[in-house]
Structure 1
Amino acid sequence: MSVFDLHGRKVLVTGGAQGLGQGMATALAAAGAAVVIADVQEEAGRAAAAAISATGATADFVRLDVTDDANWESAIAETVEKLGGLDGLVNNAGLEITELVADLNPNSVRLMLEVNILGTALGVKHAFRAMRPGGPAGGGGSVVNVSSVAATIAFPGISGYSATKSAVDRLTRVAAAESGAFGYGVRVNCIYPGLVPTAMGNQLAVEEAAIGVFPSPEEAVGAVIAQTPLGRLGEVSDMADAVVFLISDGARFITGTGLSVDGGMGM
């Protein structure tokens, strides 16, 4: 059996109703995992889970506001009940608001702090409680947090997003250290996706032009490609395959690290 075979694994994916999260849930299921999609978008989330189920894989949906501690507790409990356990969490839910530093809206920054940092931290908290010895799942596992190439580069217009995604990197490393120190048996890693032309990625290009950083969205995208040694934007499958790897036994001796999946942009 391949070390990348995920049959028997049970994984929760946040922000899985669309974009990268949907692609990650689909790839995990294709590798054999049973998945639960968690999102605030109920209709889209249920549709994404149904599409995965239609392939013969096991998939379900739970509603989750990642900024709500009590909602996390209930969503994890519901996932464990639906799947019969839990040994993987992909903390993908995130938010990007494009603004120049001179024009920062405090409410925009607070929202990114809530979703990108607090939401990820609460996910790690409740994954640990479920997967550590004595928890309702109790067999250890793997957490993959989704940071961003924005955590590794200086690009105009994304200061708040860059700051919060940098925090995800630090959170990942501290959580990995705590898991090891307290014997939780949970590996914790993160990935740094490059720009992918999902709805969120496309909106970033539009907003970069709107605030005057680039003359047009096309030139914003061109600037990213020009800074990327592999000479293209990322694809959803590029990010999804990296998540499958980090959840799998192929990454069994990897914890507390960040994997750049950005075509070399952040090197």
Structure 2
Amino acid sequence: MKETKDFENITLIEKSWIIHFPAHTSSPNSVTLVVHGLNNTASIMDDITQELNKNGSDVIQAQLKGHRMNGQAEMNKATVEDWFGDLEEAYEIVVNLSKNNDDIPVYFVGFSLGGLLNLVSISKNEKIRYNKMLLFAPAVSLTFFSSAVKLLRLLPSKFLLPNITPKPFKANRFTSIKAYQNLLELIGTLQLKDLKELNVPTKIIIDPKDELVSLRGIRKLKGKSNLNNWEIILLKQSFFKKIHHLIVVKKYLSQNNWDKIRGIIRETISN
């Protein structure tokens, strides 16, 4: 566990890559599983986690295989099945916390890969269910720019590309072609599934200028699958932003947009 975490009462649960952030109240009103994006550290979700805690939700923050302290080698060989297993283990802990607190609601918050992985997991595993979901730029569909990754499939799976995530949140300096192949596999799997189980109250937040995730693709998936409980919320930036995809970190957002996210979290937890 990194010393830079400034939360109170952080506890490890069973495994070092699963961290419990207790609610800032005597009795939690919910339990939320929080999962990061591709080649991000779990700490990229810290600002979101703090807001969840302030609003009374216990948080379980999971760090997927290949994104931990084991270095580039683990990233190069991590599989989709590894990630499914990580999510299932973390979900079991969330459910147990809920049961130990009078069956309080169970929520999910995910960024990019984390959101996509969770959606595919729900479609594949009938045991994984949430009362509500909050998805930040879920990578269910890629922009033309990021779709260029498909052309790299011909390269060896261990071939490395630079990780453009800002330094504080880089899990590794490079992202392997294998990791991108995993991402594309998840997107392909989602397109083939019956998605009726995904139609739970869900808010999707995305910057329309996102370089990696396609807003049009999200809208298409929502309409095609009749996901009428999904609400898409646009987070428009009024100033130049270096990376529009990074909408989960307070310092990369305008104050108005951060306040908007805080309000969405508050509404999700309290209603």
> For this structure pair, what is the TM-score category when the shorter chain's length is used for normalisation?
0.3 to 0.5
TM-score by length of 1: 0.42
What is the TM-score with the length of structure 2 in the denominator?
A: 0.41
Flag the structure with higher helix content: 1
